[in-house]
Amino acid sequence: MIPKVHKQGSDTHGLLKYLYGKGTREEHIDPHLVASFDGMAPDPGRDPGATKRDLQQLLDQPLQLLNPDQRPEKHVWHLSVRNAVEDRILSDEEWGQIARRMVAATGIDPGDGAGCRWAAVRHADDHIHIIATLVREDGRRPDHHFSGKRAQAEARLLEVEYDLQRVNPGDGTAAKRPTSAERHKAERQGREQTAREELRETVRRAVAGATSDEEFFDRLAAAGLLVRKRLAPSGDLLGYKVALADDHNRDGEPVFYPGSKLAPDLSLPRIRERWLAAQHDVAAGPDDRASAPSGPARARRRAAAAAWQAILIIDHGDDRQAAAHIAAAGEVLDALTKTSAAHTRKQLSEAARAFERASRSHVRAERGHDRALRQAARDLIYGGPAQGRGEDGATTAMVIDMVAFLVIAAAHWHGKKNHAQQAAAARQAAEHLRAAYQSAAQHPMAVLRHRGRRLSQPLQRRQAAHLRQAVPELAEQILAEPGWHALAATLADAEAAGHEPAALLAEAVARRELDTAESVSDVLVWRLRRLADLPADASAMPEVGTTTPQSAGRPKRPSTGRNNRPRKAR
């Protein structure tokens, strides 16, 4: 159940005309009263003898108790209460009870016999509107401060009592929702998203890894947005607003949105916090931009490494540092979306869109500590678009796997802080990342599994022994997974490169829990290949200890041919 307190107005009759009208798209059906302050208010929807003017005059009558100069200019209070699509359809009687509970909880009509006059109108199955006059029967103003929060708290109780969908409580850090008018406009124009939502995503991607005002605004222009800058009389840049080139108002002018109205962290001062901290770090320490990746595969490897370092900080670090890393994780997701191959782009885009809500909370991020993740986002963008195959495709699977654990760590952190909406958003993002991983990993994992099946039987048994030595509690589970052969091939590759497989396995397992992994063997494959600095695409590596399909598993017989006799040592 979602209650929303709308802006106060001054035109009672105008709001009633909308509530009892057909709606902007003729979506209002059978408008009628379900409750009122005295249960006897005229209903212009069901009573042919009642008019909207009659109802307006009744609601506004307490204004007459005040002198004209004492009457509040904005005296119209408006609350809408909407149920989820999955909820059952409530009766008029039930909606009436909900309306009475809402006006009592918000202080509009607390039940003392002298509350404000109000009426609840229903013109759709899933919601009602409550209109009230902000002057009590005794001429005083109502105590309706924080009425939005009060309505939210009452909604949580009503959801339980009426067996409705439970909505996670908010904390005031969410991005502004599109208005009904914006949604209807998007539908008329055939857009999948409203202009506000499309602009928010585009601006977030422009922020990812940016290091200056100039770079940020260049990216906005390159994305095709119209940009207006707000300047002080001194010429200093104070803010900005953006518009879609094809989104116009009734006068044919572009509809601009300030960054702060897209999301709280997209105002210019909040954006600048990211790169000002990065510039300070560069001035205080070595600049690693010279060693930036030269291609998408290398950028993905570095992003995977940065993600693992971030997980450790989120799990064990200071809250403000953890908040900074979670926010920077959103930038990495935006950068991955921008540079991903077609078969992973949709799920990565959905993951970034969901995680946007998880990137903000009331814990203020301490910028600068997130430099590695922000650099990773920058590297991804300047590394260029990744191809779906080869080392690009395999390192994409690697980084998605690592970022999924980063997002899960964020969900756990938010859960411990009782950030319900953020935790739910992070879990939703993790689901999309799992789907993206399945698409990205299909080919490279198939190559690795084929490679593992071709290992000689003695070599396979040796890798299984390493597994049992390093992780005895997980060994049998891993050996039964379809991905075991891929892990065996990776262990063999690591051993051929000079690593000790059992020690490397123990280190990989100790890096992070594996309870949330759908395939433990898959997770360990990418951890090992990153730790051992092995190519993610195994098809480019020489095979080690393999047997041909005809001879696999057969013991070799010593040859008695003259040419195969052992030579004497010289």
Q: Are 350 and 321 in contact (CB under 8 A)?
A: no
Rounded CA separation 529/521 (Å): 12
> 295-328: b or e for each residue (b if 16 or more CB lie within 10 Å)?
ebbbbbbbbbbbbbebbebbeebebebbbbbbbb
Q: Compute φ and ψ for 309, nearest 5 degrees.
A: -65, -40
* Digit-coded pLDDT (tens) for 386-416: 988 889 999 999 999 999 999 999 999 999 9
Band of the pLDDT at 511, cuts 50, 70, 90? low
Q: Of all residues in the chain, what percent carry a pLDDT higher than 70? A: 91
Asked if residue 432 has pLDDT above 90, the reply is yes
pLDDT confidence of residue 563: 42
Task: Tell me the DSSP string of 330-342.
Answer: HHHHHHHHHH--H
pLDDT confidence of residue 287: 44
pLDDT confidence of residue 564: 42
Neighbours of 81 (CB within 10 A): 23
Sequence-separated (6 or more) residues with CB below 8 Å from residue 502: 466, 469, 470
Which tokens belong to 63?
């204004």
Q: How far is CA 484 from CA 447, 505, 534, in A?
A: 13, 13, 18
Pick the closest to residue 410 from 428, 393, 423, 394 (CA basis).
423
Least reliable range by pLDDT among 195-209, 230-244, 270-284, 411-425: 270-284
Degrees to nearest 5, angle at CA 175 with 178 and 265: 140
Q: How far is CA 205 from CA 5, 143, 214, in A?
A: 31, 43, 15
Q: Are 292 and 382 in contact (CB under 8 A)?
A: yes
What residue has token string 């993790």? Answer: 430
pLDDT confidence of residue 260: 93
Range picked from 3-7, 32-36, 139-143 for highest mean pLDDT: 32-36
pLDDT confidence of residue 285: 43
Rounded CA separation 525/463 (Å): 13
Distance from chain centroid for Cα 553: 49
Spell out the domains of the chain, with CATH numbers in brackets. 2-161 (3.30.930), 186-284 (no CATH), 447-540 (no CATH)
* Digit-coded pLDDT (tens) for 451-501: 999 999 999 999 999 999 998 998 999 999 999 999 999 999 999 999 999
Rounded CA separation 496/473 (Å): 26
pLDDT confidence of residue 550: 39
Asked if residue 554 has pLDDT above 50, the reply is no
Band of the pLDDT at 174, cuts 50, 70, 90? confident
Rounded CA separation 303/376 (Å): 5
Q: How far is CA 14 from CA 3, 5, 32, 55, 136, in A?
A: 21, 17, 16, 12, 21
Category of 131 on φ-ψ map: left (φ > 0), alpha (ψ -120 to 50) or beta:
beta
* Digit-coded pLDDT (tens) for 149-167: 999 999 999 999 999 988 8
Rounded CA separation 254/252 (Å): 7
In single-letter form, the type of residue at position 375 comes to: Q
Distance from chain centroid for Cα 45: 42
Average pLDDT along the chain: 88
Asked if residue 542 has pLDDT above 70, the reply is yes
pLDDT confidence of residue 196: 94
CA dihedral 319, 324, 326, 331 (to 10 degrees): 180
Sequence-separated (6 or more) residues with CB below 8 Å from residue 297: 383, 386, 390, 391, 392, 394, 395, 536
Least reliable range by pLDDT among 231-235, 260-264, 506-510, 528-532: 506-510
* Digit-coded pLDDT (tens) for 15-25: 999 999 987 66
Rounded CA separation 359/410 (Å): 9
Q: Are 85 and 126 in contact (CB under 8 A)?
A: yes
Residue 33: enclosing H or E segment and its boundaries?
strand 32-36
Sequence-separated (6 or more) residues with CB below 8 Å from residue 147: 5, 77, 79, 106, 107, 108
Sequence-separated (6 or more) residues with CB below 8 Å from residue 31: 19, 20, 21, 44, 45, 121, 122, 123
Which tokens belong to 330?
């959103």
pTM of the model: 0.78
pLDDT confidence of residue 166: 86
Pick the closest to residue 463 from 447, 443, 479 (CA basis).
479
Can you count the helices (H) and strands (E) in the chain?
20, 8
Band of the pLDDT at 518, cuts 50, 70, 90? confident
pLDDT confidence of residue 510: 80
Q: Of all residues in the chain, what percent carry a pLDDT higher than 90? A: 71
pLDDT confidence of residue 317: 86
Asked if residue 552 has pLDDT above 80, the reply is no
Task: Tell me the DSSP string of 198-211.
Answer: HHHHHHHHHHTT--
Asked if residue 278 has pLDDT above 70, the reply is no
Rounded CA separation 49/53 (Å): 11
In single-letter form, the type of residue at position 182 comes to: E
Band of the pLDDT at 559, cuts 50, 70, 90? very low
Residue 129: enclosing H or E segment and its boundaries?
strand 127-136
* Digit-coded pLDDT (tens) for 328-387: 999 999 999 999 999 999 999 999 999 999 999 999 888 888 999 999 999 999 999 998
pLDDT confidence of residue 569: 38
Neighbours of 549 (CB within 10 A): 9
Q: Compute φ and ψ for 477, nearest 5 degrees.
A: -60, -45
Asked if residue 280 has pLDDT above 80, the reply is no
pLDDT confidence of residue 293: 56
pLDDT confidence of residue 555: 39
In the DSSP assignment, the letter for residue 223 is T
Which tokens belong to 306?
């940065």
Residue 468: enclosing H or E segment and its boundaries?
helix 457-470
Asked if residue 34 has pLDDT above 60, the reply is yes
* Pairing verdict, β 76-82 and 2-5: antiparallel
Which tokens belong to 190?
């055939």
Query: Between these two residues, 510 and 495, which has the higher pLDDT value?
Result: 495
Task: Tell me the DSSP string of 256-281.
Answer: -EEHHHH-GGGSHHHHHHHHHHHHHH
